[in-house]
Amino acid sequence: VQLQASGGGLVQAGGSLRVSCAGPPHSYNNYNMGWFRQAPGKERDFVAGINWSGTRTSYADSVKGRFTVSRDNAKKLMYLQMNSLKPDDTAVYYCAAQFVSDWGSVVSRAWSDNNHWGQGTLVTVSS
């Protein structure tokens, strides 16, 4: 199952952008969801996560206070609202889904724990 990320683009430093993620198409409420990003020449890192019900979120220290993750289970969509963008935020942003084995769990920050992911959407922040 492939997820579909969209909404990337070019934005000036200090600006805002919202990226979206569609899917998984089946049993959507059974997944914790996360955003990861990979900058050129760097490893893929965790950005933000949200549990299956949308009641618990987590963020990387580098984006805390600037990014907000949310989800709409009825529409099977997840969002990442990015404010006060910096050139260091330039990366390909990937959304990923982790099947819930424990209803009290939070999103794992390890890419290897993801069950499904998409091709990513490029976000470029100019200085």
What pLDDT, on the 0 to 100 scale, is given for residue 47? 98
In the chain, % of residues over pLDDT 90: 92
Instruction: Write down the mean pLDDT value for the chain.
Output: 96
- Does the structure show a pLDDT above 70 at 1? no
DSSP for residue 52: T
* Alpha-carbon gap, residue 3 to 23, rounded angstroms: 5
* Alpha-carbon gap, residue 35 to 47, rounded angstroms: 5
Question: Which SS3 state, helix, strand or coil, does residue 55 take?
Answer: coil
Question: Residue 89 — very low, low, confident or very high, per pLDDT cuts 50/70/90?
Answer: very high
What pLDDT, on the 0 to 100 scale, is given for residue 76? 96
Question: Which SS3 state, helix, strand or coil, does residue 37 take?
Answer: strand
What pLDDT, on the 0 to 100 scale, is given for residue 101? 87
What pLDDT, on the 0 to 100 scale, is given for residue 105? 87
